[in-house]
Structure 1
Amino acid sequence: MKASQLQVNFYPGSLVSARGREWIVLPESTTDTLRLRPLGGGEKDESLIYLPLELQPVGPATFPWPVVAQARNHSASQLLMDALQLKLRSGAGPFRSFGNIAVEPRAYQLVPLLMAMKQPTVRLLIADDVGIGKTIEGALIAREMLDRGEIHRMAVLCPPHLCEQWQRELEDRFHIQAVVVRSSSATRLERDLPPGTSVFDAHPFTVVSLDYIKSERRREAFQRFCPEFVIVDEAHTCTQGGQGRQQRFQLLKGLAENPQRHMVLLTATPHSGDEDAFFNLLGLLRKDFTQLKDLPVGARTDLREDLSRHFVQRRRPDIAEWQDASMFPDRETAEITYKLTGGWGQLFNDVLDYARELVVSSEGKGQREQRMNWWAALALLRCISSSPAAAVNALRTRLNGGQGEGEEGAELSLEELEAQASERVMDGLDDALSTDDIEPAAQTEDTAHLQELIAAAENLAGAANDPKLAKLTTHLQALVEEGFKPVVFCRYIATAHYLAEYLRGKFKKATIKAVTGELTPGEREAAVAELGDTEQRILVATDCLSEGINLQGLFTAVVHYDLSWNPTRHEQREGRVDRFGQQAKKVRSTMLYGEDNPVDGAVLQVILRKAESIRKELGVLVPMPDDEGKLTQALLNAVLLRKHNALGKQAQIGFDFGEPAQQIETAWQSAREKAAKNRSIFAQRRLKPDDVLPEWRKSAAALGNEDDVQRFVSRAMAKLGAGLEPYKNHFKAPLDALPQTLKERLAAEGLTGTLRIDFQQPAAQGSTFIQRTHPLVVALADTLLEQALDSQNEDADGVARAGAAFVGNVALKTTVLLLRLRHQLSITRDNNTRLMLCEETVAVSIAGAEPLTEIPLPQARELLGAQASRNMPPVIRDRHIQQALDSLPTWQTALEAIAQARAQSLLADHRRVREAAEARGSYQVTASLPVDVMGVYVLVPAAVEV
Structure 2
Amino acid sequence: MSTTATTSTPPSGARWSPGSLVRARGREWIVLSGSDAEVLRVRPVSGSEEDHTYIHLALEAVPVADASFPKPDLSQKAGHDAALLLRDALVLSLRRGAGPFRSFGQIAIEPRAYQLVPLLMALKLDPVRLLIADDVGIGKTIEAALIARELLDRGDVERFAVLCPPHLVEQWVSELEGRFHLRPVAVTAASAARLERNLPPSESIFTTHAHTVVSLDYIKSERRRAEFLRACPELVIVDEAHTCASTGQSRHQRYELLKGLVGDSTHGAHGDPRARARHLVMLTATPHSGDEEAYFRLLGLLHPDFAALSSATGDEHKKLRDRLAVHFVQRRRPDIAEWREGSLFPHRETTELTYKLTGAWERFFNAVLAYCASVVAQAGDDTKKQRLNFWGTLALMRCVASSPAAAVQALRTRAGLEEEVAEDDVEARVFDGAADALPHDDVEPPAGSEAEALTALITQAEELAGQAGDPKLKVLTDHVVELVKEGFNPVVFCRYIATAHYLGQHISAKVKDVAVGVVTGELISGARKEKVELLGDAERRILVATDCLSEGVNLQDHFDAVVHYDLSWNPTRHEQREGRVDRFGQKSEVVRTTLLYGANNPVDGAVIEVILRKADKIREELGVPVPLPDDGHTLSQALMKAVLLRNREPEGKRQQTFAFVEMEEAKTIETRWLDAAEKAKKNRTVFAQRRLKPEDVLPEWKKSLAALGGKEDVQHFTSRALARLGGALEPMSNSGRRGFKAPLDALPEDVRERLDVEGLAGSILIDFDYPPAPRCRPVQRSHPLVSVLAETMLERTLGNVASADVSDPGVLGRVGCWIADGITSRSLVALVRLRHQLTSQRGHQVTTLLVEEATAIAWTGAPTQLEGPDALALLSPLPVADPPPHVRERTVTQALGQLETRLSELDAFAERRAQALLADHRRVRAAAEALGRYSVKALVPADVIGLFVLLPKVD
TM-score, normalised on structure 2?
0.94
Matches of 2:522 and 2:262, distance apart in 1: 37
Q: Which residue of 2 aligns with 1:164?
A: 170
Instruction: Say which SS state the counterpart of residue 343 (structure 2) adopts.
Output: helix
8 Å CA contact 1:178–1:206 kept in 2: the answer is: yes
Structure 1: 5+ residue runs without aligned partners?
Answer: 1-5, 402-410
Instruction: Letter of the 1:869 partner, please give it.
Output: V
Matches of 2:493 and 2:202, distance apart in 1: 48
Q: Which residue of 2 aligns with 1:418?
A: 423
Instruction: Say which SS state the counterpart of residue 62 (structure 1) adopts.
Output: coil
8 Å CA contact 1:852–1:894 kept in 2: the answer is: no
1:300 CA displacement: 2.5
Q: Which residue of 1 aligns with 2:269?
A: none
Matched, 1:818 2:824: no
1:763 CA displacement: 1.8
8 Å CA contact 2:393–2:448 kept in 1: the answer is: no
Instruction: Letter of the 2:386 partner, please give it.
Output: Q
Matches of 2:465 and 2:45, distance apart in 1: 71
Q: Which residue of 2 aligns with 1:919?
A: 930
8 Å CA contact 2:820–2:952 kept in 1: the answer is: yes
1:26 CA displacement: 1.3
Q: Which residue of 2 aligns with 1:724?
A: 729
**Which among 748, 751, 758 is matched to residue 739 of structure 1?**
748
CA 1:499–1:297: 2 relative to 1, 3 Å: farther
Matched, 1:773 2:790: no
Matched, 1:518 2:529: no
**Which among 387, 395, 399 is matched to residue 411 of structure 2?**
395
1:605 CA displacement: 0.5
Matched, 1:216 2:225: no
8 Å CA contact 1:272–1:430 kept in 2: the answer is: no
Matched, 1:558 2:562: yes
Matched, 1:185 2:191: yes
| Count of paired positions | 924
Matched, 1:709 2:714: yes
Matched, 1:754 2:758: no
CA 1:139–1:647: 2 relative to 1, 3 Å: farther
1:845 CA displacement: 1.4
CA 1:8–1:370: 2 relative to 1, 3 Å: closer
Q: Which residue of 2 aligns with 1:869?
A: 880
Instruction: Letter of the 2:949 partner, please give it.
Output: V
Q: Which residue of 1 aligns with 2:6?
A: none
Write out per-residue CA displacement over residues 328-368 of structure 1, whole angstroms, 9 at most, x where no aligned residue.
11111111111222221222222111211222232x44334
Matches of 1:429 and 1:820, distance apart in 2: 53
Instruction: Say which SS state the counterpart of residue 718 (structure 2) adopts.
Output: helix
Matches of 1:741 and 1:654, distance apart in 2: 73
8 Å CA contact 2:289–2:676 kept in 1: the answer is: no
1:67 CA displacement: 1.8
Matches of 1:682 and 1:887, distance apart in 2: 59
1:861 CA displacement: 4.8
**Which among 566, 582, 585 is matched to residue 586 of structure 2?**
582
Matches of 1:9 and 1:498, distance apart in 2: 72
Q: Which residue of 1 aligns with 2:388?
A: 372
Write out per-residue CA displacement over residues 179-203 of structure 1, whole angstroms, 9 at most, x where no aligned residue.
1122222221121212221121111
8 Å CA contact 2:438–2:551 kept in 1: the answer is: no
8 Å CA contact 2:740–2:767 kept in 1: the answer is: yes
Write out per-residue CA displacement over residues 140-197 of structure 1, whole angstroms, 9 at most, x where no aligned residue.
1111111111111111111111112111211221122111122222221121212221
Matches of 1:504 and 1:630, distance apart in 2: 40
Instruction: Letter of the 1:191 partner, please give it.
Output: R
8 Å CA contact 1:807–1:941 kept in 2: the answer is: yes
1:781 CA displacement: 0.8
Q: Which residue of 2 aligns with 1:571?
A: 575
Matched, 1:275 2:301: no
Range with greater deviation from structure 2 (48-57 or 931-940) = 48-57
Instruction: Letter of the 1:561 partner, please give it.
Output: Y
CA 1:429–1:526: 2 relative to 1, 3 Å: closer
CA 1:552–1:645: 2 relative to 1, 3 Å: farther
1:627 CA displacement: 3.1
Q: Which residue of 2 aligns with 1:382?
A: 398
Range with greater deviation from structure 2 (811-820 or 479-488) = 811-820
Instruction: Say which SS state the counterpart of residue 940 (structure 2) adopts.
Output: coil
Q: Which residue of 1 aligns with 2:77?
A: 71
1:327 CA displacement: 2.0
Q: Which residue of 1 aligns with 2:145?
A: 139
1:569 CA displacement: 0.4
CA 1:645–1:498: 2 relative to 1, 3 Å: farther
Instruction: Say which SS state the counterpart of residue 686 (structure 1) adopts.
Output: coil
**Which among 469, 476, 483 is matched to residue 472 of structure 1?**
476
Q: Which residue of 2 aligns with 1:782?
A: 791
Instruction: Letter of the 1:714 partner, please give it.
Output: S
Instruction: Letter of the 1:703 partner, please give it.
Output: L
Range with greater deviation from structure 2 (92-101 or 324-333) = 324-333
Matches of 2:610 and 2:111, distance apart in 1: 40
Matches of 2:98 and 2:932, distance apart in 1: 19
Matches of 2:619 and 2:198, distance apart in 1: 53
1:231 CA displacement: 0.8
1:634 CA displacement: 0.5
Instruction: Letter of the 1:704 partner, please give it.
Output: G
Matches of 1:686 and 1:435, distance apart in 2: 41
1:418 CA displacement: 2.9
Matches of 2:680 and 2:442, distance apart in 1: 31
Matches of 2:650 and 2:688, distance apart in 1: 47
Matched, 1:943 2:954: yes
Q: Which residue of 1 aligns with 2:843?
A: 830
Matches of 1:740 and 1:478, distance apart in 2: 51
1:855 CA displacement: 4.2
Instruction: Letter of the 1:518 partner, please give it.
Output: E
Q: Which residue of 1 aligns with 2:25?
A: 19
Write out per-residue CA displacement over residues 764-821 of structure 1, whole angstroms, 9 at most, x where no aligned residue.
2322211111221111111101122132324355413111112223222222111111
Instruction: Say which SS state the counterpart of residue 55 (structure 1) adopts.
Output: coil
Please show how residues 570-649 of structure 1 align to structure 2 within 5 Å.
570-642=574-646, 643-644=648-649
8 Å CA contact 2:829–2:948 kept in 1: the answer is: yes
Q: Which residue of 2 aligns with 1:352?
A: 369
Instruction: Letter of the 2:512 partner, please give it.
Output: K
State the identity as a percent.
58
TM-score, normalised on structure 1?
0.95
Instruction: Say which SS state the counterpart of residue 736 (structure 1) adopts.
Output: coil
Instruction: Say which SS state the counterpart of residue 562 (structure 1) adopts.
Output: coil
Matches of 2:342 and 2:668, distance apart in 1: 39
Q: Which residue of 1 aligns with 2:326?
A: 309
8 Å CA contact 1:93–1:702 kept in 2: the answer is: yes
Write out per-residue CA displacement over residues 491-544 of structure 1, whole angstroms, 9 at most, x where no aligned residue.
111111111111110012111111111111122112111101211111111101
1:325 CA displacement: 5.0
Q: Which residue of 1 aligns with 2:5?
A: none
1:868 CA displacement: 2.2
Matches of 1:463 and 1:575, distance apart in 2: 35
Instruction: Letter of the 1:41 partner, please give it.
Output: G
Q: Which residue of 2 aligns with 1:494?
A: 498
Q: Which residue of 1 aligns with 2:685?
A: 680
Matches of 2:688 and 2:29, distance apart in 1: 52
Q: Which residue of 1 aligns with 2:673?
A: 668
8 Å CA contact 1:388–1:458 kept in 2: the answer is: yes
Write out per-residue CA displacement over residues 543-565 of structure 1, whole angstroms, 9 at most, x where no aligned residue.
01110011111100000001110
Range with greater deviation from structure 2 (677-686 or 558-567) = 677-686
8 Å CA contact 1:372–1:399 kept in 2: the answer is: no
Instruction: Letter of the 1:80 partner, please give it.
Output: L
Q: Which residue of 1 aligns with 2:547?
A: 543
CA 1:18–1:546: 2 relative to 1, 3 Å: same
CA 1:166–1:7: 2 relative to 1, 3 Å: closer
Structure 2: 5+ residue runs without aligned partners?
Answer: 1-11, 264-274
Instruction: Letter of the 2:820 partner, please give it.
Output: V
Instruction: Say which SS state the counterpart of residue 740 (structure 2) adopts.
Output: strand
Matches of 2:552 and 2:688, distance apart in 1: 29
Instruction: Letter of the 1:313 partner, please give it.
Output: Q
Q: Which residue of 2 aligns with 1:149?
A: 155
Matches of 1:485 and 1:343, distance apart in 2: 33
CA 1:645–1:612: 2 relative to 1, 3 Å: farther
Matches of 1:77 and 1:276, distance apart in 2: 64
